[in-house]
Amino acid sequence: MKKYDLIIELLKLNSIGLVIIYPHRNEIVLSDEIKKIINVTNEFKNKSNNLDELLNKVVFIEDRTLINSFFTTLNKFKKIKDFEFRVMIDKSNYKWVKCSAILDTEKEEEIIYIFLEEITSMKNQQMIIAKHMNFLQSIIDAFPYPVFYKNSSSVYKLVNQSFIDLFKSSKEDILGKSTTQLYGEELSEFYLQKDEELINSSNLQRYEKTVTLPNNDKRDLLITKNIVKDEINSFKGIIGTVLDITEKNIAFKNNKRIVLLLESMIEISFAILNTTDLKTLMDLLLEKSLSSIKKTQIGSVFIVNENNILKCFTSKGYKLNEIEKLNLEYKNTFYYKETKGKTKKSIILNDLKKYGDNTMLLPTINIPIKSALTTSIYFNNKFYGIISIDSTEKNVFDHYDVELMEFISIQIENALKMFNLYKETNYLSQYDRLTDIYNRSYFETLYLEFFNKAVIDKAMFCASIIDINGLKKINDTYGHLAGDKLINTFARKLKKMTKKTDIFARLGGDEFVWISSTLRKIEMEVAMENLLVYFTSNFIQYEDTKFSCSFSYGISEYPLDSHDKSEILKIADNRMYSFKDHYKDIYN
């Protein structure tokens, strides 16, 4: 085997293509592997290819200026390493490639050797990681206290703005730096020792540390850390929060209640990421408020409705059937009367008897509430409700409790903001806003899980691809709001036909997909035909006009039609287009 052939064979084994360019002759030589990578057909021979013609054919149009700079740099430095650009698959699709090149000027004629490998899969993974990192960044930026994440090499990869502000630094000065690089020898050694203890124990770690900031300001910090593992339980890094407790230590040197509350709020912040239920969040907030005050185990949260009536949302220490019956007009509450309507503050009500006899009774003993520590809850600068810590004794609460309650009020508002941000972000990542059904991205995740379960269980399922007919005509005639009404009406009607175990999603535009494990192919066809009949006699009303809804569909069945996940959808899609062509004179 010749030396050249041996090199080509070695490159081929590593899926690397070779391009040899003779610039003065405008000639190129392509290895077989390169033809696969850049999608070149047999019309290009091995030799006498026109370089400019090839570049115009294969390089993605937006990257052609990059190619010019590639050759300019190569001429200057004689070699280039890890240069990335895109090559076209068709007019709108591309794949990523990475190349290194050498300009050989030692011979009589200049020769350029370009080594090319496809990296599309790697780039896609990078984009997915970047998307998740951006999502995580938006979550931690909402946290009202500093948050950081560092990888298994102790290199900082994520910090929020609060972290940057605390350490009087910038993201550029922190990200990509290790613990040793950021802190002095003594402090970094302490942090690394704590990290090692955390990794060895795998338990949540919390400790206080006094540090000197860059401006020589000494601060007492409460640091909470936990390890991050991947799906195979391998250690990936450490996530943590940093709370500045300097003022707390000064003001409450002999009072540890604030520490308990801070710890509780951290727990609540982490809990927000694992719940979409407001009741669960409020239960936790009330529980942690009571454990911080410590003087009683009786309390309630009332939330105002659209009629300005306060209803009990959660409580502890009360008879549920008694307290849930209460409908309190805001202006008639103890809190409103005592503050004279100036509700943005915490107050102590030491003698509730003067406000009347409508105080609630405890669950098992008929002892009335005699005092209360109450504060308002505001959300987005609007009155949201009241949290009250109550006692069966008079004069239980003091000014320290008031200060603590003020802090609780702020933390509740922050928790509500984070909860709503997470809920909204989580919703948008899974649902189509117009139709309130799954979006394409989340469908792909659900379908993969659904398909794998069907394979394991040896179960059948049907897939239907559905396309609304004439949407463009509706948009052009009546406007896009009318088109939205058509899409939404169709989606709501079909959604009512699905079961909880089904997957129903909008793939985009006027196209939908329905996956069902309970219907056979003939049963799904009957359902589709019944829906077509329904829409022939039930027109859609939009403003002062009415129009009909029709659609085309195609159905495939696993495993009858195919054992391949993608092929099942492709078959259904092809059948949908066959249906559309067959009935185009009727439905279009």
**28 or 46: whose pLDDT is higher?**
28
Radius of gyration from C-alpha coordinates of the chain: 33
- If we measure between CA atoms, which residue out of 142, 159, 155 comes closest to residue 182? 155
Pairwise CA distance, residues 260 & 283, whole Å: 17
The CA distances from residue 109 to 104, 105, 258, in Å, are 9, 7, 79
Cβ–Cβ < 8 Å for 106, 83: no
All domains in the chain, ordered by first residue: 3-118 (3.30.450.20), 125-251 (3.30.450.20), 261-428 (3.30.450.40), 440-587 (3.30.70.270)
Pairwise CA distance, residues 132 & 122, whole Å: 15
Q: pTM of the full predicted structure?
A: 0.41
Pairwise CA distance, residues 196 & 575, whole Å: 59
DSSP class of residue 59?
B
Angle, CA 312 vertex, CA 265 and CA 379 arms, to 5°: 50
Question: pLDDT of 249-276, one tens digit each?
Answer: 766 654 566 666 667 667 766 766 666 6
Pairwise CA distance, residues 115 & 83, whole Å: 10
Pairwise CA distance, residues 48 & 340, whole Å: 92
- If we measure between CA atoms, which residue out of 431, 456, 428 comes closest to residue 443? 431
Lowest mean pLDDT among 79-88, 126-135, 207-216, 289-298: 126-135
Please tell me the predicted confidence (pLDDT) of residue 254: 42
Strand bridging mode 309-316 / 298-304? antiparallel
pLDDT mean over 181-193: 88
Confidence class of residue 501 from pLDDT cuts 50, 70 and 90? very high
Dihedrals phi, psi of 188, to nearest 5 degrees: -65, -35
Q: Provide the terminal-to-terminal Cα distance of the chain, rounded to the nearest Å.
A: 64
Got the DSSP string for 264-276? HHHHHHHHHTT--
**42 or 99: whose pLDDT is higher?**
99
Pairwise CA distance, residues 407 & 395, whole Å: 21
The number of CA neighbours under 13 Å toward the Cβ of 272 is 25
pLDDT mean over 227-245: 85
Lowest mean pLDDT among 363-367, 385-389, 398-402: 363-367
Got the DSSP string for 174-226? HTT-BHHHHS-HHHHHHHHHHHHHHHHH-S-EEEEEEEE-TTS-EEEEEEEEE
Cβ–Cβ < 8 Å for 57, 72: no
Pairwise CA distance, residues 399 & 407, whole Å: 13
Convert 280-298 to b/e letters by CB count within 10 Å (16 or more is b). ebbbbbbbbbbebbebbeb
pLDDT mean over 8-36: 78
Question: pLDDT of 288-335, one tens digit each?
Answer: 888 777 778 888 888 888 888 888 888 888 877 777 778 888 777 777
Pairwise CA distance, residues 146 & 243, whole Å: 7
Angle, CA 271 vertex, CA 266 and CA 274 arms, to 5°: 150
